[in-house]
Structure 1
Amino acid sequence: MSTPASTSANQQQTHTPVGLIAFAWTLVGVPLAYGLYNTVKAASALFGG
C-alpha cells in the first residue's frame, strides 16, 4: 500500500509576518465593523422608534 505524497515529514512550516496578519485583519475588520454599525443603527430606527 502506498503512502500519501504529502505526509507531515514532507511538509515545511511557513512563517507569516505578524504585521501582514494585522494588516489583513484590519482590511477585513474595518469594513465589517462599519457595516455592522450601520445595520444596528438602521435596525434600531426600525424597531426602536
Structure 2
Amino acid sequence: MTPQSNSPTNANAADTGSGGSAVLAWLIVGLPLAWGVSQTFIKALALFK
C-alpha cells in the first residue's frame, strides 16, 4: 500500500468553484429541455383525443 498525501488534487478542483456557475449551467440546459419535453407531451396528448 502507498501512503496517501493530504495535498489537493485535480479531482478536488471542481469543489472549489462557486455554486452559482453550476446553477447557471443547469438553467441554460434545463430550461430548453423542460420546454421541449412539455411540448412533446402536449403534442402526444393530441394523438389520443
Unaligned ranges ≥5, structure 2: none
TM-score, with structure 1 as normaliser: 0.70
Q: Distance in 2 between matches of 1:18 and 1:34?
A: 24
Cα displacement string for residues 11-47 of structure 1 (whole angstroms, at most 9, x for unaligned residues)? 2422121100000000000000000000000000012
Cα distance between partner residues in 2 of 1:44 and 1:20: 36
As a proportion of its length, which structure holds more helix? Answer: 2
- In 1, the alpha carbon distance for the partners of 2:38 and 2:46 equals 12
Aligned partners of 1:17 and 1:46: how far apart in 2? 45
Q: TM-score under structure 2 normalisation?
A: 0.70
| Count of residue pairs the alignment pairs up | 42
Q: Which runs of 5+ in 1 are unaligned?
A: 1-7
CA RMSD, aligned part only? 1.9
